């Protein structure tokens, strides 16, 4: 890519270098990346970037690392289509393009001082990790932090090392579940849907905020459990996944009624969207 043109187009990606690639699961990899020009990404937990591979297109990928980890950022990528399959062939030293960061992040000022329940399912842990790392690095900003995570099987869990560390850390109360477990699996969590992890929690609804990121089917069930515990919709943040093509509020692919997931989200307060068609 050339020098930055005089007026940089909205649609021109910025070159980034891959520092390392780690297998998370057989279908998910973690890319540690930095901007070639050395500038920080400048993101907040909950934001995403449009990752660009020339010839393969672009896709929205949530940033999986916290801005407190300076100089680099990380992207957890599941292999689902042509672009992500091409990404999975990339190695250390290769480059990719990014545009962003885009979208509304977690409202850190409102989260500050509150007890947090961070609930994620499947690859929803990647974007949640950005917030968890943030909590890890700014321990005094928040009250108690509970991490709830559900995956299909022990092998399907992302960030197994991180999970083990968080589990061991006094900073976090971790509870985990998997849908299925087979003979050889070494797993200490429970078996069943993630909704099972909520009833045992004890928290004060007025000083607690929950955040949810997961597959589409997860939201309603988890929200129902949180409601049972008395948490109000203005204290539940959800991050929604949509197929953004542009990331900048123009292409229309991520609209939810009058809102755009890439601009008004991806992190929403539940009371902003629960009444909207097609949101959850």
| Residues in contact with another protein by the rule CB under 8 A | 1-2, 5, 7, 9-13, 54-58, 80-81, 84, 215-216, 241-243, 245-246, 248-259, 263, 277-279
Q: Least distance (Å) from another protein to the CB of residue 263? A: 6
Q: 59 or 111, CB closer to another protein?
A: 59
Least gap, CB of 74 to another protein (angstroms): 20
Question: Can you read off the two tokens belonging to residue 229?
Answer: 């515990």
Closest CB 53 distance from another protein, rounded Å: 8
Closest CB to another protein among 72 and 259?
259
The 95-102 sheet, strands edge to edge: 57-62, 48-53, 95-102, 14-25, 28-35, 73-78
Q: What is the DSSP string of 102-146?
A: ESB---HHHHTTSEEEEEEEGGGHHHHHHHHHHHHHSGGGSS-EE
∠ CA 117-118-120 to the nearest 5 degrees? Answer: 140
Cβ 243 to another protein shortest distance, Å:
5
Between 153 and 255, CB nearer to another protein: 255
CB-count burial class (<10 Å; 0-12, 13-18, 19+) for 261:
buried
Nearer Cβ to another protein, position 205 or 249? 249
């Amino acid at each position: 890519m050339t020098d930055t043109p005089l007026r940089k187009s909205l649609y021109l990606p910025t070159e980034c270098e891959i520092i390392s690639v780690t297998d998370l699961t057989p279908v998910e990899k973690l890319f540690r990346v930095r901007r070639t020009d050395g500038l920080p990404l400048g993101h907040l937990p909950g934001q995403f970037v449009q990752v660009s591979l020339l010839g393969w297109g672009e896709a929205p990928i949530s940033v999986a690392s916290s801005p407190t980890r300076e100089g680099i950022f990380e992207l957890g990528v599941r292999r689902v289509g042509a672009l992500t399959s091409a990404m999975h062939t990339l190695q250390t030293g290769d480059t990719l393009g990014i545009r962003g960061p885009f979208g509304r992040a977690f409202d850190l000022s409102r989260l500050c001082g509150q007890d947090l329940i961070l609930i994620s399912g499947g690859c929803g842990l990647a974007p949640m990790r950005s917030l968890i790392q943030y909590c890890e690095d700014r321990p005094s900003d928040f009250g108690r932090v509970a991490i709830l995570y559900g995956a299909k099987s022990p092998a399907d869990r992302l960030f197994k090392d991180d999970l083990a560390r968080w589990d061991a850390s006094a900073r976090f109360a971790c509870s985990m579940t998997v849908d299925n477990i087979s003979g050889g699996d070494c797993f200490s969590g429970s078996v069943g849907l993630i909704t099972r992890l909520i009833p045992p929690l004890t928290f004060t609804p007025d000083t607690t905020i929950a955040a949810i990121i997961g597959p589409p089917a997860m939201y309603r069930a988890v929200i129902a459990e949180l409601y049972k515990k008395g948490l109000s919709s203005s204290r539940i943040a959800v991050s929604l996944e949509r197929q953004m093509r542009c990331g900048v509020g123009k292409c229309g692919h991520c609209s939810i009624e009058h809102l755009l997931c890439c601009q008004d989200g991806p992190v929403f307060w539940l009371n902003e969207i629960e009444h909207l068609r097609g949101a959850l």
